């Protein structure tokens, strides 16, 4: 750029891309952040150029010709082909309004370039196409910021009325005092400001997420501790009450059942013996002995019935004890599974916090 003969007539911010020369399909970004893209007018050669500087080199240096076409490929993205540079440039804007403003300015500059070419071919003299264009669309004056809250900054030349020759010369001089260094500093400033805003927003989001994760972690820890205590209580209860008692009852009831069965068999044998004695031939049986024998038989039958009832009651008690033990085991298993789930969630929560801490600047 030559600050003595070129002057900016429009500037905006956009993410710059170039087509991949190998595939001619994929876009290659010029950087991670948005850059300043400006229209410049060369009053000496009557040439318009689109220039974007990143770091110490020009990312875009495209001379606008009447044959160029700026195409909107989406609501926030546009592109044009530069046959001289043998490439295709793409710009990604922050909003559709910024894309529309850049496209309209492209048409204006393209038309101005066409008029300049026609007049130069006709031998006419074009004194200042840039000022004529600026007075119609973007009036010339010192560059001012035309951005609103939260929008990308647009820089345009503005003036209220068409200036006279002396004022025009003064404005030319003011506008020509800009240099590549100023554009570079401006691009770096906006890049740093954009990066700072993004980092501040990311830091706020990370702090909020970290606080939320801490609260969830504390809640998970409390829940895990409560589950541990509950499992410990259930295990202690199952170990001290259910299992020993059930085993002792099972052993005791098993022994009792065997004793009762033996006693029942013994009583049955006595009953059979008494029946055989009362039913067989006896010499001179006495009435008192017969009644006594019959009474013993009835007593033995009653006792046998009672023993059978006790046996059935013990069997039911044993079944209930076994069912209670199975229920206790099932409850302990469910509590252990729930504890495993909570511990897994706690582990995932810790890993998420670790990744968040590593990602936070």
Q: What are the residue boundaries of the structural domains of the chain, listed by start?
A: 8-119
Average pLDDT of the chain to the nearest whole number: 76
Number of H helices, E strands in the chain: 6, 10
- Do 41 and 111 contact (CB within 8 A), yes or no? no
Mean pLDDT along residues 94-118: 92
Mean pLDDT along residues 147-165: 38
Q: How far apart are CA 29 and CA 40, in angstroms?
A: 23
CA angle, 71 as apex, 70 and 75 as ends, to 5°? 125
Look at 272 and 152; give whichever has higher pLDDT: 272
What pLDDT sits at residue 144? 32
8-119 sits in which CATH class?
Answer: mainly beta
Select from 238, 151, 134 the least CA-distant residue to 197: 151
Q: How far apart are CA 74 and CA 89, in angstroms?
A: 15
Specify which residues 87 forms β-bridges with. 82
Model confidence over 123-143: pLDDT tens digits? 654 444 444 444 333 333 333
Look at 219 and 197; give whichever has higher pLDDT: 219
pLDDT at 164 over 70: no
């Amino acid at each position: 750029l030559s600050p003595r003969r070129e002057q900016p007539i429009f500037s905006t911010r956009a993410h710059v891309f170039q087509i991949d020369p190998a595939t001619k399909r994929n876009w290659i970004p010029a950087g991670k952040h948005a850059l300043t893209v400006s229209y410049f007018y060369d009053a000496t050669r009557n040439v318009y150029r689109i220039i974007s500087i990143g770091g110490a080199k020009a990312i875009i240096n495209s001379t606008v010709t009447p044959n160029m076409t700026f195409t909107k490929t989406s609501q926030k993205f546009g592109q044009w082909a530069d046959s001289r540079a043998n490439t295709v440039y793409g710009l990604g804007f922050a909003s559709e309004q910024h894309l529309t403003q850049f496209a309209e300015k492209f048409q204006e500059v393209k038309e101005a370039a066409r008029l300049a070419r026609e007049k130069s071919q006709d031998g006419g003299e074009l004194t200042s196409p840039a000022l004529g264009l600026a007075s119609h669309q973007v009036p010339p004056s010192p560059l001012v910021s035309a951005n609103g809250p939260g929008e990308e900054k647009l820089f345009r030349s503005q003036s209220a009325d068409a200036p006279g020759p002396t004022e025009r010369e003064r404005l030319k001089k003011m506008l020509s005092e800009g240099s590549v260094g100023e554009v570079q500093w401006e691009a770096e400033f906006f890049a740093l400001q954009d990066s700072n805003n993004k980092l501040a927003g990311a830091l706020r989001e990370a702090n909020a997420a970290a606080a939320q994760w801490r609260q969830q972690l504390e809640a998970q820890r409390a829940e895990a501790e409560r589950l541990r205590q509950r499992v410990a209580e259930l295990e202690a209860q199952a170990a001290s009450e259910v299992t020993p008692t059930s085993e002792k009852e099972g052993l005791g009831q098993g022994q009792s059942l065997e004793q009762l069965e033996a006693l029942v068999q013994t009583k049955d044998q006595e009953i059979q013996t008494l029946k055989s004695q009362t039913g067989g031939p006896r010499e001179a049986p006495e009435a008192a002995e017969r009644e006594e024998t019959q009474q013993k038989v009835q007593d033995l039958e009653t006792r046998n019935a009672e023993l059978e009832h006790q046996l059935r009651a013990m069997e039911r008690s044993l079944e209930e004890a076994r069912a209670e033990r199975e229920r206790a085991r099932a409850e302990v298993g469910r509590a252990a599974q729930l504890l495993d789930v909570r511990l897994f969630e706690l582990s995932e929560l810790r890993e998420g916090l670790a990744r968040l801490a590593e990602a936070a600047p």
